[in-house]
Amino acid sequence: MFEISGMDKMDVIILLLLILISLNLIKIISNFVVNYMTGNDHIRLINFSIDKGNYESALLRCNKQLIKSPKDSNFQWAQAIILYKLKRMDDAKQAFEKLANEEPLLKKDANIYLEAISNET
């Protein structure tokens, strides 16, 4: 039968330990990258969730980012859109009104949604 000497056993143990350490390092690095993505990356993930109809998960991600960056108009806009898609019209109206008042470049688009909300209620 196949016999492994003492030195061969140590080599196998060292190899297995190196593999385990490498896997743990990969996990740590991937967690770091996910936790420190740029805002653009988060917006892309939120928009992807919206496109797939996963509004609740998109809203959770958006709210989490708004805690970190409460004045970020990209996340505010995404949140308003998600609230509208979820038919939470009072919350959506409030979000679009805030955007219309605070973000001049978004005022026209926010007013379109505000008009649609007033027509639905």
The pLDDT profile of the chain, 121 residues, written as one tens digit per residue, is: 556 565 687 888 888 999 999 998 888 888 777 666 566 788 889 999 999 999 999 999 999 999 988 999 999 999 999 999 999 999 999 999 999 999 999 999 999 999 999 998 7
Instruction: Give dist(CA 113, CA 77) in Å, integer.
Output: 11
pTM of this prediction? 0.67
Residue holding tokens 């996910």? 34
Q: Let me know if 79 is exposed, middle or buried by CB neighbors in 10 A (0-12, 13-18, 19+).
A: buried
